[in-house]
Structure 1
Amino acid sequence: MRAAVYYGPNKLEIDDVAEPEVRPGTVKLQVGFNGICGTDLHEYYAGPIFVPTSPHPLTGAELPLTMGHEFSGTITAVGEGVTGWTEGDRVAVEPIYKCDQCGPCRAGNYNVCQQIGFHGLMSDGGMAESTVVPTSMLHRLPDNVSLELGALVEPMSVAYHAATLGDVTQGNTAMVFGAGPIGIGLWFALRGKGLEDVFVVEPSPTRRAAIEALGAQTLDPTATDVPAFIAEHTSGAGADAVFDAAGVAPAVSTALACVGSRRPMVSVAIYEKPLETPLLNLVMNESRIQGSLCYTGADFEAVIALMADGRYDTTGWVTRIPLDDVVDEGFEALHAGTKMKVLVDPNGAN
């Protein structure tokens, strides 16, 4: 079968690889769509970072491997001992491998497992015609949720998990910094939680226009004094939660200047450079920085339910491409900023 195989920096090739074989406790999927993630971009341009160069303790996999951890698919075969799943079931995949032994796992927080692995980063993944996954990763898609939306469940769950950590309720004011895919996902998640007063802060006119078309209120930090605006808007109380999905110093400093007393800035970004954090502001405001990593099965189920309710829209920010175009129209286009979210169609029939 054909797959996008990662060999190292700037080397991703469409290769013919062996068809994966179903094993006990697993199912084989015909991949519907596979999203290209920011983590994939980091691996392609600066890796290997998370892709193991020696056997991973949970999967045994190492470089080279097939990329892809954001994907949906249709079951084509079931392994020995599998119950509750049959050929033809459509699923989204929660791609976490966990040890079940470390402190976080024992506490139920397997998304921060100390040996965490991801299907498509620490094993052969979904940027291929087929892949095999354990049934623990499967989430059933309702009939009215497309395979396209199904491939977005994983990144939208990253955002939903962060939104939950913001501890917001109806009537609160929230702010999202960055209108990339995770920022868009945060806006969808916050709206799904009943918030009407959500502002998205984004300097790029293209990204502002994309999320405005979905119905978002935006602020241009190059033209607006964002902390002053929020102070006036909230009668001096500040935002009830701010979310950093931008990962750059100006966004963090502005976010911390907007957050209300004893309220969180939730960080769901990857920071390529060290940041200087204004700790005095945190102390004087009794506010806090909350990290957010990945998701749990509950986040997947919540996102799928919202999708089934028609709360997610791919118009204007999601592009489909065939597997053959994964480098030029996928990785290179995302790196250049000419596309926002790319879904790879490995089978060419969706």
Structure 2
Amino acid sequence: MRAAVYYGANKVEIADVPEPSPGAGQVKVKVGFNGICGTDLHEYYAGPIFIPTEPHPLTQQALPLVLGHEFSGTVTDVGAGVTDVRVGDRVAIEPLYRCGHCGPCRAGNYNICQQIGFHGLMSDGGMAEYTVVPVNMIHRLPDNVSLELGALVEPMSVAFHAATLGGTTPDDTAMVFGAGPIGIGLWFALRGKGLDNVYVVEPSQTRRVAIEALGATTLDPTSLDIPQFIADATDGRGADAIFDAAGVQPAVETALECIGARRSLVSVAIYEKPLSTPLQRLVMNESRIQGSLCYTSADFEAVIELMSQGRYDTTGWVDKIGLESVIDDGFEALHAGTKMKVLVDPSEVTA
């Protein structure tokens, strides 16, 4: 079968690799679509970062390996002991490996497992025609949720988990910094939770136009005093919850000027550079910064339910390409900012 194999920085090859077979407790999936994530970009241009060079303790795999952790597909085979998944099921994959015995796992917070692994980063993943996953990664898709949307369940669950940690109510005012895929996912999640007052802060006109087309209200930090605007819009209370999906110092500084008393700034970004946080603002406001990592099974199910209700729309921000085009139309286009989100169709093998 054909697959995108990662060997190291700037070296991903579309190669013929053996087609996998499911072992006990495993499920074989014919991949429908696989999304290219920001983490994949970091690995391609600056890695290996998370991809192990020595066998990972949970998967026993190391590079070279097949990329891809955001994917959907159709079950084609099941291993011994699998009874609740059937051939023909359309599924989304929750790609987390967890140890089950560390402190967070024992507390039910396996998304912050101390040995956490990802299918497609610590094992051969979904940027291939077929892949094999443990049965606990499987989430069935309703008939009215396409495989295209199914491939977005993983990143949208990242956003939904963060939105949940924000503790909002429908009457609240929320802000999202950054209108990339996770920022868009946050807007969908907050709207799905009943919020009408959601402001998306984004300096890129291209990204503002894309999310505005979905119905969002945007603020341009290059031409607007954001803290003053929020103060006016909330009668001086400040925002009830803020979500940072931008991952840059100016966004964090502005966010902290907007947050209401005893409210939280939820960070769901990856910070490439160390930040200096104005802690005095947190002290005087009794506000806080809350980290958010990954998702749980409940987040996956909540996103799938919202998708089945028609609450997610891919118009204007999602592109689909074939496997042979992964480098030029995938990594390079995303890195250059000419595309926002790319889904790879492994069945389409011609450029």
1:222 aligns with 222
- Paired with 1:157 and 1:301, the residues of 2 have a C-alpha distance of 9
How far is the alpha carbon of 1:85 from its aligned partner? Answer: 1.1
Identity percentage of aligned residues: 77
Query: Tell me, what secondary structure is at the counterpart of 1:263?
Result: strand
Matched, 1:34 2:30: no
User: Deviations for 1:231-284, whole angstroms, at most 9, x for unmatched residues?
Assistant: 000000000000000000000000110000000000000000000100000000
For residue 133 of structure 1, what is the aligned residue in structure 2?
Answer: 133
Matched, 1:306 2:306: yes
Partner of 1:247: 247
SS at match of 1:302: helix
Indicate the residue corresponding to 1:171 in structure 2: 171
Equivalent-residue separation in structure 2 for 1:336 and 1:218 (angstroms): 23
Could you say which residue in structure 2 is the equivalent of 1:54?
54
- Show the 5 A alignment for 1:1-350: 1-348=1-348
- Per-residue CA deviation, residues 302-350 of structure 1 (Å, 9 max, x unaligned), is 000000000000000000000000000000000000000000000129x
TM-score by length of 2: 0.99
The 3-state SS of whatever aligns with 1:348 is coil
- What amino acid is the match of 1:300? F
Please state how far the C-alpha of 1:21 moved relative to its aligned partner.
Answer: 1.2
1:171 aligned partner, one-letter code: D
Partner amino acid, structure 2, of 1:35 = G
Between the aligned partners of 1:286 and 1:39, the Cα distance in structure 2 is 33
Q: How far apart, CA to CA, are the structure 2 residues paired with 1:258 and 1:26?
A: 47
Q: Which amino acid aligns with 2:265?
A: M
Distance 2:9 2:111 in 1: 27
Instruction: Give secondary structure in 2 for the equivalent of 1:324.
Output: helix
**Residue segments in structure 1 that go unaligned for 5+ positions in a row:** none
Query: Deviation per CA, 1:150-202, whole angstroms, max 9, x where unpaired?
Result: 00000000000000000000110000000000000000000000000000000
Give the gaps of 5 or more residues in structure 2.
none
User: SS of 1:262's equivalent?
Assistant: strand
CA distance, structure 2, for counterparts of residue 321 and residue 338 of structure 1: 14
CA distance in 1, matches of 2:348, 2:46: 29
Q: Using the alignment, how far apart are the partners of 1:133 and 1:148 within structure 2?
A: 19
CA displacement 1:76-100 (0-9 Å, x = unmatched)? 0011111011110000000000000
SS in 1 for 2:262: coil
When normalised by structure 1's length, the TM-score is 0.99
Question: In 2, distance between residues paired with 1:20 and 1:50?
Answer: 23
> 1:203 Cα shift?
0.3
Runs of 4+ in 1 over 6 A off after TM superposition: none
Aligned-partner residue type, residue 190 of structure 1: L
3-state secondary structure, aligned to 1:242: strand
For 2:217 and 2:90, the matched residues in 1 are separated by 34
Cα displacement (A) at 1:7 = 0.2
Give the whole-Å Cα distance in 1 for the aligned partners of 2:290 and 2:85.
Answer: 37
Question: Secondary structure, in 3 states, of the residue corresponding to 1:260?
Answer: strand
